[in-house]
Amino acid sequence: MIEPGKYLNPEGKVHWKSPANIALIKYWGKYPEQLPMNPSLSFVLSNSVVSIKVEYVIDDSKPLNILDFKLNGRDNPGFAEKINNYLVRLSEYFSFLKHAQLHISSESTFPHSAGIASSAAAFSALALCVCSMDEKIYEKRWNADDFFNKASYMARLGSGSACRSLFDGMVVWGFTKFLPGTSDEFAVKLSDDRVHESFRDMQDTILIASSETKKVSSSAGHELMHKHPHRENRKEQALDNLNKITRALKDGNWKMTGEIIENEALSLHGLMMSSNPGYILMRPNTITMLEKIRSFRQDTRLNVYFTLDAGPNIHLIYPFKERKDVRNFVTSDLAPLCENHKWIDDEMGKGPVNLLEDDQ
């Protein structure tokens, strides 16, 4: 039993890298404490990552203080404030944070103003840092499953979808009775035997339709779901789509998987348009690209499908073996419709990395 206030290692350093994730079944609408209205499913990306290094001293005579915060080598007071609020929230679970003196530096691979959200990567990296601090300060060692479940729970408190960034492969967040072990409080990996090998090298090409800041934030969008006329239908639809996609993923059925992910993307945007007030995040070039993607699929019979987050940019999802054809199509037909011809190549990744363990 550790006496309160007794830190075995009050000084140290932690350093984690964590990825963004792309949802195939969308989380839309939340209850207090960032609990989801419906379960969602995603996979983590490989290149879109944030790494966070925290150097800390725990000093009971001082309150929590971020002594400095750097994002890609520069001060960023806006983001530092968000992190401070998040750490205050986590101090309900980790009392040492109430007295932590912190130097935090963060590196992000997200292209500046590409309109791609980095919050899932950032909050999951930070949650991992705090869980590692807990282990070091009190010289305890969680087993890997408990550690990542706990980090997922903590990441959720920063940004709901961040809780899905902690695991490789397909990840489910939200309780559903047909997937044992699922929870509203943290995400779980869909076991490998439930995912056919043809889904293990999924590609994600991100087409930047616009990098402008969104007029309606995701938080505002989640909020509008409370009084949404289609709220109950949406919960049923998401459950039904999750049920179907898990079968399609197991069977290696790309066609069915693709149809479900497009249905999810268009439903998400339909929910935004039919909210009160309604709003539109797609841009005219988003729609032009979606139509081109569908025609290309019809002409070539390739497995290339789209999904969209709460924004105008398109994620093209396809298997590695179709990469060459899809790349040619992107360069010739879609890049000219992207803002400044900008698109980003990414693919399914392997999850977070402890950079300190990598150093040693």
The residues of the shown chain that bind ligand PMV, judged by CB under 6 A, are 23, 26-27, 40, 119, 159-161, 218, 222, 268, 309-310
106's enclosing H/E stretch is strand 100-108
Residue 25 structure tokens: 């079944």
Task: Give whichever of 27 and 343 is closer to ligand PMV, judged by the CB atom.
Answer: 27
Residue 184 structure tokens: 């509203």
Task: Give whichever of 55 and 223 is closer to ligand PMV, judged by the CB atom.
Answer: 223
DSSP code at position 331:
I
Q: How far is the CB of 124 from ligand PMV (least distance, A)?
A: 11
Q: How far is the CB of 299 from ligand PMV (least distance, A)?
A: 30
Q: Which residues contact 216 (CB under 8 A, 6 or more apart)?
A: 272, 279, 281
Q: Name the burial class of residue 345, with classes exposed (0-12), middle (13-18) and buried (19+) by CB atoms within 10 angstroms of its CB.
A: middle
User: Which is it for strands 65-71 and 187-189: parallel, antiparallel or unpaired?
Assistant: unpaired
102's enclosing H/E stretch is strand 100-108
Q: How far is the CB of 11 from ligand PMV (least distance, A)?
A: 33
Q: Name the burial class of residue 356, with classes exposed (0-12), middle (13-18) and buried (19+) by CB atoms within 10 angstroms of its CB.
A: middle
Q: How far is the CB of 222 from ligand PMV (least distance, A)?
A: 6
Task: Give whichever of 160 and 258 is closer to ligand PMV, judged by the CB atom.
Answer: 160
Task: Give whichever of 137 and 170 is closer to ligand PMV, judged by the CB atom.
Answer: 170
Task: Give whichever of 95 and 274 is closer to ligand PMV, judged by the CB atom.
Answer: 274
Task: Give whichever of 26 and 189 is closer to ligand PMV, judged by the CB atom.
Answer: 26
What whole-number distance in Å separates Cα of residue 268 and Cα of residue 330? 24
Q: How far is the CB of 201 from ligand PMV (least distance, A)?
A: 21
Task: Give whichever of 36 and 258 is closer to ligand PMV, judged by the CB atom.
Answer: 36
Q: How far is the CB of 312 from ligand PMV (least distance, A)?
A: 12
**C-alpha closest to that of 80 among 124, 126, 131, 136:** 126
Residue 218 structure tokens: 């995701």
- Residue at token pair 């996609």: 245
Is residue 81 within 8 Å of 33, Cβ to Cβ?
no
Q: How far is the CB of 271 from ligand PMV (least distance, A)?
A: 10
Hey, what amino acid is at 225?
M
